[in-house]
Amino acid sequence: MATNRTFTMIKPDAVANGHIGNILAMITNGGFKIVSLKLTQLTVADAKAFYAVHAERPFYGELVEFMSRGPIVAAILEKDNAVEDFRTLIGATNPAEAAEGTIRKAYATSIGENAVHGSDSDENAAIEGAFHFAGREQF
């Protein structure tokens, strides 16, 4: 059963390039309510823990390095069918394949530096939201 909350991060590339405001505007214009929001920076240990599911993948080291190199914006979003609708809004991982009007088409520079993270399931949204907003009931 689909929940009405999801998790997102505006990644270090988009933060460094000054896209926080434009991305948040796309999110709210897409019908999402921002329930929780914070600017923070992942330590290497945080990035390793958050992306532990990818630890055996060849890109894991680069991903950890990238995600810990600068500030991120973490957010809990609310909308009916939140996970699926947000995945549509962010677009394909590869910005060259992302649809017009998606966040990644507008702000991603490569597959690796793709501007935003969006949870891929209700279960992962709950886990990822709790990771960044520990001690708060999010889902």
59 is in an annotated binding site: yes
Measured N-to-C along each axis, helices 82-90 and 20-29 cross at an angle, to the nearest 10 degrees, of 130
How many folded domains does the chain comprise? 1
Which CATH number covers residue 106?
Answer: 3.30.70.141
Under 8 Å between Cβ of 82 and 5: yes
pLDDT digits (tens, 9 = 90+) for 16-30: 999 999 999 999 999
What is the pTM assigned to this prediction?
0.92
104 is in an annotated binding site: yes
Distance CA 107, CA 113 (A): 9
Measured N-to-C along each axis, helices 122-132 and 82-90 cross at an angle, to the nearest 10 degrees, of 80
CA angle at residue 42 from 92 to 112, to 5 degrees? 25
Domain that holds residue 35: 3-135
93 is in an annotated binding site: yes
**Catalytic-labelled residue, pool 19, 54, 117, 132:** 117
How many C-beta atoms surround the C-beta of residue 111 within 10 A? 14
Q: Is 117 a catalytic residue?
A: yes
pLDDT of 118 higher than 60: yes
